[in-house]
Structure 1
Amino acid sequence: MADPKVSDEAIAVLVDIIRTAGRDLNAGQRLELDHLISQGLVAVAETDQGRRSYAVTDEGQRLLDERGVGANEA
């Protein structure tokens, strides 16, 4: 499978999801999130409180690793 083409903004959203499960995404980031979900790079889960939570999939993590992006980098 060919790697999906992702923008720098999409990479930033993936990192935010790793850090905060997507709790603090703005409107523009949420649009990018929809693309990441459709590409299989992010998964959706419901929390106990009925809120959505997001997690980077193994494929999303592989993409970050290939791009040399670490979520804990300052």
Structure 2
Amino acid sequence: MMMVFVYFDLSTGDLFDQIFCIPAPDFLRLTHNEDKKPGERVFTVGLKHPDQSKYAEFMIEKRELANRIIEIMDKL
């Protein structure tokens, strides 16, 4: 399983250039549960420097998303 996070820019009507594709185990390891509510996690990345976040290794260009999904499906 993989988590995909995108930012949709309403002013341009398009996705932000970077997308985060994070395998579920890594997502659980890197995120935290602020309110200790079962099943809830917090994912936050600043748009000015997403390449400097703790999730940077999972950042891809939006044009790479389809290929990344195919890679994952091929492994199933």
| Bucket of the pairwise TM-score, normalised by the shorter protein | under 0.3
Please give the TM-score of this superposition, normalised by the length of structure 1.
Answer: 0.22
Give the strand-richer structure, 1 or 2.
2
Please give the TM-score of this superposition, normalised by the length of structure 2.
Answer: 0.22
Give the helix-richer structure, 1 or 2.
1
